[in-house]
Structure 1
Amino acid sequence: MSTSIRFKLSFMMFLEFFIWGAWFVTLGSFLIKNLNASQFEISNVFSTQSLGAIIAPFIIGMIADRYFNAERILGILHLAGAFLMFQMYKAVDVAVFYPYVLTYMILYMPTLSLVNSVSFRQLTNPEKQFSSIRVFGTIGWIVAGFTISLLGWDSSDGAADGALKNTFLMASVASLVLGLFSFVLPKTPPVKVADGEKPSFASMVGLDAITLLKDKNYLVFFISSILICIPLAFYYQNANPFLLEIGLTNATGKMAIGQVSEAVFLLLLPILFVRFGFKKTIMIGMLAWVVRYLMFAYGNAGDLSFMLIIGIALHGICYDFFFVSGQIYTDAKAGLKYKSAAQGLITLATYGIGQLIGFWVAGFIGEKYQGIKATDVAGFWQQTWIVPAGIAFVVLIIFMILFKNEKIESKTV
């Protein structure tokens, strides 16, 4: 792979995740401080990510993957995204904001698959080369978080002045840059299968892989994956507002520790996966969710701030040990015929259905304890975090009892 192509793919990944990290991390805080949103309104806004994940296969499967070069549709989607981000920057209330964020997420979620498509088509040895390209996406997310804290947009003074809305302006500019840059990316035309026909839409969205659910072990894993996304949604929706409201300094920058942890454990996962096996690896990931939320529930921004940092740093174990291990397990169980369809199915179930339920549950819990918040902010957040800790613990017990240990062999590991 030439240096020029490596730079283009790395810069593409950097911007792709810089854009997401530039506004999504602080979205909950923005909705509370700038738009005075209720807990249910916040849940509706966050749910647009799940709706985007559900609708994304239609865009990729029925339009982009059939008629257009991947890099061109990537550019068009990000140019449209730049406009929508600018409209979100100007929004003065949730009613105005919501249609723009919904449309944006429907257009953005497909780009996560498109950047992978553009990359894989240029790699001669994806198993060895992709991680060195993809890591720039994690770096982009980290840089976005540090930039927000460095500029003070998430500080108490910045929030009071409405500075959090600048995150959308920053994301808009980055989206514009990536939109234009996409047109100089390596050409990635649609690929025809051996018989000259396009893959069926059912296979693209994972419907062909439903047959895997006949396997009891995989069914247990599948249901557990949906359920564990409920506590995951609590983190996305509440972590930044929580850290800011209890007074943790440079909260958004410190949240980037989670992405650093994710990168480190992603590199360690193949070794740990072989050492512990699939079931124990998954259970460690579930247990990490329980510990993380208990750290949030009983930590504070003072003498117990180390508990908050540990909770943030556990993100690598929480995410990699469950979701990445789950992708490996799915790949091994699917076999050659259903590999792509199975990954589509598990993605639709987790980022689509699972998190959609999770955001609604998080909104319900936030609204339920809202009365406490006026007089006891710390108490409000303690009650809020205990709920996902309990859910994660129940899922852990269900998985431990019902999932039968089995040896997993995959070329991915």
Structure 2
Amino acid sequence: MNVKFRLTVMSFMQFFVWGAWLITIANYWFNTNGWDGTQFGAIFATMGFASLFMPTLMGIVADKWINAERLYGILHLCYAAVLFYIPQISTPHGFFWIMFLAMCFYMPTISLSNSISYNSLKSRLLDVVKDFPPIRVWGTIGFIAAMWITNLTGSKAGANQFYIAGIAAAALGIYSFTLPKCPPANLSAEKSTLVQKLGLESFRLFANYKMALFFIFSMFLGGALQLTNMYGDVFLDAFKDFPRYADSFVVKYSTIIMSISQISETLFILAIPFFLKRFGIKNVMLIAMFAWVLRFGLFAYGNPGNGLWMIVLSCIVYGMAFDFFNISGSLFVETSTAPKIRSSAQGLFMMMTNGFGAVFGSLLSGWMIDRFFTKSFGSLQSIATFVGSEPSNNHLQSFIKQQGVTIANNGFFSQPILMKDWRDIWLTFTIYALIVAVLFMVFFKHKHTEEREKAIEAVLS
């Protein structure tokens, strides 16, 4: 069978098993279990915690002891087993540890899938630069397909999302053992220290002011990267509590609406060479940061009615916000570091965004939403005003009953009803992204010279 086709199947499944639950887990968390936002922030941070050490650790294992494709298969089978067990968990504490275990198995497979693809293409004398991108784009398509299946099967707020991902992960785990063999590279003739083996020598880059500044801003922007993955779908789904939007297309197919973000991602990636050549790395990173401002700001004022265009435009802007920073940032590292530490420097960039940044963004946003943006309503009139309906509205009355609340003759509830103020949440995220963008523009000095342009072209060609 054609190796490129086999790697394409792997790439599709690699992100399918993630997309089946990543965007919709918030619905499961808040709507099914009713657990709080601070706890959910900790749950989402498990991806960051796992990213701090597992990719490096499994990379060492694959380099020294086990074929990469076999290790990849074992990790996916373990990931599948944990996914099947997740719906059995009934406490936030237990959910945290089981999700952390799932992420310890899954996160290393992203880099392993790249290694398997590179190794398989190179061993057959194929052009990695030319042949890998068309393979990788099927990963995004797999992510989108999983989101659609989760939504269309009515699984976005239930346990089935984990079963869908688990079945696919088990299939991928088995399929992995049929992939081209990628044996361990073993030790090179040149001796290396433990620090070099672990890729820690790149931390010396923090001694360089510009590189240190870049990595710090990467961490702060990495915090923003998680916010719409965490809250985007549950935000759209929350419009079901507003009578005038309860039966809208956005509420019924919120995950499909969110998938526009991933579709946009596949399109904007094609525009990156043009933008880099015309504007330079710093300006492309700035464009990405201000795109995050738009992403959050449009969500703040969007709604399923006359504000639907804002929601759709926000999803389109996501492709620019996500791709432009990740790829231009990666190119900045590639063209600004010595060849002998480039790989470890790229690892440090990913650690700052997907590791420390993800943990920072997940934990802080969860706490802030609980502390400042979860409103308590004690009367029928107050909640009717918030959702913009008459107190006698049938949908509102049904919603109140679903909360297990009774209404006294004076209109007060037997216990408060908690609802999130999504407009203020997104406005806060908007201000955060704007501050990061302005500070980056002022303090990060990087000129787009002809020499740097040639270096970028060399990487992209």
**What is the CA–CA distance in structure 2 between the aligned matches of 1:167 and 1:201, rounded to whole Å?**
41
Displaced runs of 4 or more, over 6 A: none
Equivalent of 2:127, from 118, 125, 128?
A: 125
Distance apart, 1:12 and its partner CA? 0.6
Letter paired with 2:144: I
Shift in CA distance, 93/347, structure 1 to aligned 2, threshold 3 Å: same
Shift in CA distance, 278/58, structure 1 to aligned 2, threshold 3 Å: closer
Equivalent residues of 2:75, 2:109 under 8 A apart: yes
Letter paired with 2:437: L
Equivalent residues of 1:204, 1:341 under 8 A apart: no
The answer to whether the aligner puts 1:239 opposite 2:232 as a matched pair is yes
Distance apart, 1:269 and its partner CA? 0.5
Distance apart, 1:142 and its partner CA? 0.6
Equivalent of 2:169, from 155, 170, 175?
A: 175
Gaps of 5+ in 1: none
**What is the CA–CA distance in structure 1 between the aligned matches of 2:376 and 2:359, rounded to whole Å?**
25
Shift in CA distance, 91/103, structure 1 to aligned 2, threshold 3 Å: same
**What is the CA–CA distance in structure 2 between the aligned matches of 1:255 and 1:204, rounded to whole Å?**
40
Give the equivalent residue in structure 2 for 1:184.
178
Identical counterparts, % of pairs: 32
Give the equivalent residue in structure 2 for 1:152.
154
Letter paired with 1:212: L
Equivalent residues of 1:288, 1:318 under 8 A apart: yes
Q: How many residues align?
A: 402
Give the equivalent residue in structure 2 for 1:86.
84
Q: Once the two structures are superposed, what CA deviation does each residue of 1:176-222 show, in whole Å capped at 9, x if it has no partner?
A: 0001000000000111464165x655346542112323332222211
Q: Once the two structures are superposed, what CA deviation does each residue of 1:62-89 show, in whole Å capped at 9, x if it has no partner?
A: 4233210000011111111111000013
Equivalent of 1:298, from 286, 297, 301?
A: 301
Equivalent residues of 1:72, 1:182 under 8 A apart: yes
Q: Once the two structures are superposed, what CA deviation does each residue of 1:358-393 show, in whole Å capped at 9, x if it has no partner?
A: 111111111023442654479700111112211111
Secondary structure at the residue paired with 2:177? helix
Give the equivalent residue in structure 2 for 1:401.
442
**What is the CA–CA distance in structure 1 between the aligned matches of 2:154 and 2:134, rounded to whole Å?**
31
The answer to whether the aligner puts 1:75 opposite 2:69 as a matched pair is no
Give the equivalent residue in structure 2 for 1:60.
58
List aligned pairs for 1:186-205, cutoff 5 A.
186-192=180-186, 194-195=188-189, 202-203=195-196, 205=198
**What is the CA–CA distance in structure 2 between the aligned matches of 1:260 and 1:293, rounded to whole Å?**
18
Letter paired with 1:412: V
Equivalent residues of 1:42, 1:363 under 8 A apart: yes
The answer to whether the aligner puts 1:261 opposite 2:264 as a matched pair is yes
Distance apart, 1:279 and its partner CA? 1.2
List aligned pairs for 1:183-332, cutoff 5 A.
183-192=177-186, 194-195=188-189, 202-203=195-196, 205-247=198-240, 248-249=250-251, 250-332=253-335
Shift in CA distance, 67/194, structure 1 to aligned 2, threshold 3 Å: closer
Secondary structure at the residue paired with 2:159? helix
Equivalent residues of 1:299, 1:307 under 8 A apart: yes
Equivalent residues of 2:20, 2:143 under 8 A apart: yes
Letter paired with 1:386: L
Equivalent residues of 1:79, 1:180 under 8 A apart: yes
**What is the CA–CA distance in structure 2 between the aligned matches of 1:292 and 1:50, rounded to whole Å?**
22
**What is the CA–CA distance in structure 2 between the aligned matches of 1:327 and 1:58, rounded to whole Å?**
18
Shift in CA distance, 88/370, structure 1 to aligned 2, threshold 3 Å: same
**What is the CA–CA distance in structure 2 between the aligned matches of 1:389 and 1:328, rounded to whole Å?**
26
Equivalent of 1:104, from 102, 125, 131?
A: 102
**What is the CA–CA distance in structure 2 between the aligned matches of 1:373 and 1:75, rounded to whole Å?**
47
Distance apart, 1:236 and its partner CA? 1.9
Distance apart, 1:47 and its partner CA? 0.7
Shift in CA distance, 37/403, structure 1 to aligned 2, threshold 3 Å: same
Secondary structure at the residue paired with 2:189? coil
Equivalent residues of 1:74, 1:179 under 8 A apart: yes
Equivalent residues of 1:209, 1:334 under 8 A apart: no
**What is the CA–CA distance in structure 1 between the aligned matches of 2:26 and 2:35, rounded to whole Å?**
9
Letter paired with 1:209: S
CA RMSD of superposed structures (Å): 1.8
**What is the CA–CA distance in structure 2 between the aligned matches of 1:34 and 1:167, rounded to whole Å?**
13
**What is the CA–CA distance in structure 2 between the aligned matches of 1:6 and 1:139, rounded to whole Å?**
16
Letter paired with 1:178: L
Gaps of 5+ in 2: 241-249, 378-382, 388-418
Equivalent residues of 2:223, 2:361 under 8 A apart: yes
Shift in CA distance, 382/203, structure 1 to aligned 2, threshold 3 Å: farther
Give the equivalent residue in structure 1 for 2:43.
45
**What is the CA–CA distance in structure 1 between the aligned matches of 2:24 and 2:194, rounded to whole Å?**
35
**What is the CA–CA distance in structure 2 between the aligned matches of 1:11 and 1:379, rounded to whole Å?**
40
Equivalent residues of 2:373, 2:420 under 8 A apart: no
Q: Once the two structures are superposed, what CA deviation does each residue of 1:124-152 show, in whole Å capped at 9, x if it has no partner?
A: 21111110110110010010111122223
